[in-house]
Amino acid sequence: MASYTHSSKGTPGQSKLFLNPAALSPAGDRANHTTFWRNPKVGNIYRNTEYITAPITQPLLNYCGLTEDKFASLTEPIEVLDMCCGAGVVSAGIQEMLKSTGQVVVRLNMSGAELGRTAGRIRRWSRRIWRFDFIVVGMALMVVAEPYAGLAELYRVLKPGGRIASSTWATEGWVYDTRDAVANLSVPGQQPVPWPQKSCHLTGLWSPGAWDDPYFAAAMYNASGLTEIDSETLAKPITFRDPEQFCIVFQALLTGTVGRYWSEEQKEKLRHKLKPVIVEYLGKKYGGGPFEIERSIVLVSGTKAKV
């Protein structure tokens, strides 16, 4: 595992692993998350992130132990939880591996009656002890308000001997181009709008803790009680055909960054200018054609000890 370092000094008694960050306001942070995820625009545009999440699905499944060989050798059913499923790329990846068996993992039905039945089933689940053999958490722990409580709950519902794996962002290279694009964007008479100046200004924006560091992620797995922990950083550069596609794919994160960094006046007067400014900058820099953005993720997995 790579080493984890941090230059700032914590307050007396503060965990060096940021289990209780001094600057965190839990109530305020939860409120921010609630506002962000209830924004209809976020829900509607989140599916566009599949372009960048799909390529890391198979490495995540492999890290959890859900490989083609594993499925081929099964002699009895297993329970798999696709937590924070987002655009559904994890379940799609599992179904792709199961095609030859004719099994189906996820059923989708939009009828009111079926949705009502599903809601009732979920309520019954909440009253029973549900256990899973594998839990997969794709690109989520770093954008939820209480990742440690979430990890503890996942540990609770994992069967003894079961395995959990998660991916979180490590380096988001698109920050640098967007930073330069908005360098002169401002309300008349004011300074340019603030924007993440480097990757960590984005990756540490929502969730407490350094989830962009494989050592930290592994330490949090250890703290939750998991064993046989592995972690690593995996480079996954992304190629975009043009600036328009870039803005569509990253629309949710651009929206979240504006919500976190800009004042109300800046949002009101400049939000509509953000995309044109970025498209113009990227078009000039890359000639309007395909270009590649640096991106890497942290993979971490662990096992719940058998009783």
Give the domain ranges of the chain. 26-303
Tens digit of each residue's pLDDT (9 = 90 or more) over 51-110 = 888 888 899 999 999 988 888 888 888 888 888 766 677 877 888 887 765 555 544 444
Res 172: pLDDT? 92
Region 222-230: what's the mean pLDDT?
Answer: 96
Q: Which two tokens stand for residue 242?
A: 């043009």
Res 122: pLDDT? 56
Tens digit of each residue's pLDDT (9 = 90 or more) over 237-285 = 999 999 999 999 998 889 889 988 999 999 999 999 999 999 999 999 9
| 3-state secondary structure at position 281 | helix
26-303: CATH topology: Rossmann fold (3.40.50)
Long-range contacts of 20-27 (CB under 8 A, 24+ apart): 21/208, 21/209, 24/208, 26/145, 26/146
Between CA 50 and CA 91 the distance in angstroms is 12
The residue type of 250 is: F
